[in-house]
Amino acid sequence: MSVTALTPGETQLTIQTGGITKTVPVTVYPAGLYPILDDQLPYSNNGVTFTRGSTPGSVHVKGTATKWASISVNITLQAGEYTLACKGANNWDYGVQVAIPGDSANNLKAPSDTQPVTGTLAAGKYYCELFVNENRTVDLDLTPTLTKNN
């Protein structure tokens, strides 16, 4: 069975067959390719703690970064055009990036809350990173999304 919803969050699904009715809790995650980091949380790095955010797929980020603070995971992408967005991001102060380590051509970096970044990426293994830049203080949710456009 597949359930599609427009808004990430907690909801319920009622299933009825014959005289039996069951209500099942359902978590709706954001659409897209950006990995859900829940299994790595909580995590602390350089003065910043990353925990589950208030909505599915979001990460609560709190603290003052003594150095670059981040949490990342690797994914494999096919070649194509992608859009990276992050609700709550502020360019290079705190936010998200997707890149191949050491490859300046294949990356999508630092969108702001209202300005997604779109670009063409080669097929390969990428790291997806939520970050807080040095000396920045944060107490907010970041909700990253990565979608393939073609």
- 38-148: CATH number: 2.60.120
Residues 6 or more apart from 36 whose CB is under 8 A from it? 29, 56, 57
Domain locations in the chain as residue ranges: 38-148
pLDDT of the chain along its 150 residues, tens only? 556 555 666 778 788 888 899 988 876 655 678 888 999 999 999 999 999 999 888 999 999 999 999 999 999 999 999 999 999 999 999 999 999 988 888 899 988 988 999 999 999 999 999 999 999 999 999 999 999 997
d(CA 27, CA 17): 22
Provide the token pair at 45.
């790095």
d(CA 136, CA 150): 36
